[in-house]
Structure 1
Amino acid sequence: MTTDVKKQYQANIKLYQPKPNYGKNAVRAFLIGGFICLLGEAISDLYLMWFPLSERTVTAPMMATMILLAALFTGVGLYDKLGQFGGAGALVPVTGFTNAMASAALEHRSEGLVHGVATNMFKMVGAVIVFGVVVSYLVGLTRLLVQMLIS
């Protein structure tokens, strides 16, 4: 009897669960992700006009500016609204990584700088950092081995 009740309960849940609109969500993610990238390109172009930078060296200041803007937008609550609207389009760029760190830091700031902000800021993004470092090492090692085999 309990399995029948569980099956009926699951059937009732499916009736009332909202169905995601995948097409609309994909378009929103594309537009928000594209807007973030467009903003980065615009900042790069402005820095190329204003400062003695080359195409190769403009990336670091542009990324620093994007990270700063994302942290500021997270602090005033705008990035959460952008993430709600754009979904993965706001999550995937480096600004999403910044948002994850800044929101965790803001959430735990009442516990102090060390035990609150510094400790909890990396809980959510620590796995991303570790994975990025390990994969970068493996890709670099693979490239080195391939170059040694070729030459």
Structure 2
Amino acid sequence: MITKENYKQSLKDYQPKPKYFRNCLKAFMVGGFICLIGQGLTFFYMEMFGFTSKEAGNPTVTTLILIAALLTGFGLYDKIGQFAGAGSAVPVTGFANSITSAALEHKSEGIVLGISTNMFKLAGSVIVFGTVAAYVVGVIRYTIQTLF
């Protein structure tokens, strides 16, 4: 008779073992390469336009978002994501990919009800979480500074 435990054990025999080290290495390498591109863009903006490192941050992030959105539109960012896993999802390019994917997925429903609505569903939750997290960290930092 097949019991729940026997069934789970028989499934384990047929499931492939996850390759944690290789997956982590790929995520680290791709995420690091994305950051390397960002650093290169920062140096580019500093050299070509005379920006300080602080001033070069905004155009660097904007350029990375544009590149990720274009790669998503051409279907290439999904292939990078399948290869790298979390390595492509963590930087700002992963957020751009998520929003662009949502917009492309719902474009048949129209510009307002399809693209805009679904794109901002995702963006809204991320922005709210980021704002709340920044507030909490700010309160903790302020409390620590006033106490010590």
Give the Cα–Cα distance (whole angstroms) in 1 for the partners of residues 93 and 103 of structure 2.
15
Which stretch shows the higher mean deviation, 109-118 or 124-133?
124-133
Which stretch shows the higher mean deviation, 12-21 or 97-106?
12-21
Give the Cα–Cα distance (whole angstroms) in 1 for the partners of residues 3 and 139 of structure 2.
56
Give the Cα–Cα distance (whole angstroms) in 1 for the partners of residues 133 and 111 of structure 2.
31
Identity %: 53
Which stretch shows the higher mean deviation, 138-147 or 7-16?
138-147
The one-letter code matched in structure 1 to 2:135 is Y
Q: Compute the TM-score of the two structures, normalised by the length of structure 1.
A: 0.89
SS in 1 for 2:52: coil
The one-letter code matched in structure 1 to 2:37 is L
1:120 to partner: Cα distance: 1.2
Q: Compute the TM-score of the two structures, normalised by the length of structure 2.
A: 0.90
SS in 1 for 2:54: coil
Q: CA RMSD in A?
A: 1.8
Structure 1: unaligned runs, 5 residues or longer? none
Output one character per residue of 1:85-126: Cα deviation in whole Å (capped at 9) or x when no partner: 111110100100111111011000110111111111133444
The structure 2 residue matched to 1:134, chosen from 114, 121, 132, is 132
Which residue does 1:106 correspond to in 2?
A: 104
The count of corresponding residues between Structure 1 and Structure 2 is: 148
The one-letter code matched in structure 1 to 2:114 is G
Which residue does 1:55 correspond to in 2?
A: 53
Which residue does 2:40 correspond to in 1?
A: 42
Matches within 5 A, 1:1-151: 4-149=2-147
Pick closer, same or farther for the CA change 1:147–1:27 going to 2, 3 Å.
closer
Query: Runs (4+) of structure 1 moved beyond 6 Å?
Result: none
Give the Cα–Cα distance (whole angstroms) in 2 for the partners of residues 108 and 31 of structure 1.
32
